[in-house]
A = this chain, B = another copy of it.
Amino acid sequence: MTLAYPLDDPRAARPASALSDAFDRHGVRMAYARNEEIYAQDDAVELLYRVVRGVVRTSRVTADGRRQVGAFYYPGDLFGLEPGPDHRFGAEALDDCEILVVRRSAVRAAAGDAELDRAILEAQRLEMERLQDHVVMLGRKSARERVASFLMSIAQRGGDDHADLAMGRQDMADYLGLTIETVSRMLTQLQGEAIVAFPSSRRFEIRKWTALEALAA
């Protein structure tokens, strides 16, 4: 990775919040290339990260090479907030990324700041709810439903009806607990039913919201 530029650089946008403030005063802006590792599985948890640009994925690889993707993080998202002494999932840049990084100790030094605490707790809350939903999805949903849920969650983030997938099929598969072929087949199936349309393999549009919602539930 390379250090992009120091934080007092004017390019660093500064929304007025305690969290942004902590990132601005104590943070460093880093740039990571596509597929570059941000931190490794089993690294010590020392830093707190915020996505500025690009998308980050966390993943865990078992001894025999199976991979489970934990989450995808988008601009504005905090990540690296694992509660234990070391990371159980590694983090990698999905595409070229800029990431703000602060030492946890610096954050702790700024403690007592209620707004900052709230932002971190809120990130932890989101993280835990995401994990809970992920468990239910992996435990009880079919491949078709998993893919539908995934498209739904991406589309909701975008807001509008066209959305871009930041990740390839393999990352989707490893997030959904499926194989790349099954993901592809389910996408083809949903297209065949005119529930979604893929103008290109990374871009889609939802055509039948209610049908997709019913599947994603």
Contacts and interface: CB of A to CB of B under 8 A. Distances in A.
B217 A63 contact: yes
Contacts of A174: 139
Contact of A89 (B88, B89, B125, B132): B132
A68 B177 contact: no
B128 A62 contact: no
Contact of A217 (B62, B138, B139, B176): B62
A67 interface: yes
A129 B88 CA distance: 8
Contacts of A70: 132, 135
Interface string A60-92: 101110111010000000000011100011000
A88 B132 contact: yes
B68 A139 contact: yes
Nearest to A88: B132
A157 interface: no
A124 interface: yes
Contact of A140 (B62, B88, B128, B132): B62
Given A88-B129, A128-B127, A136 B62 contact: yes
Given A83-B124, A83-B128, A84-B129, A135 B136 contact: no
A134 interface: yes
Given A63-B217, A217-B62, A217-B63, A83 B139 contact: no
Interface of A: 60, 62-64, 66-68, 70, 82-84, 88-89, 121, 124-125, 127-129, 131-132, 134-136, 138-140, 174, 176-177, 217
22 contacts: A62-B140, A62-B217, A67-B140, A68-B139, A70-B135, A83-B125, A83-B128, A83-B129, A84-B125, A88-B132, A127-B128, A128-B128, A128-B131, A131-B134, A131-B135, A135-B135, A135-B138, A138-B138, A138-B139, A139-B174, A139-B176, A139-B177
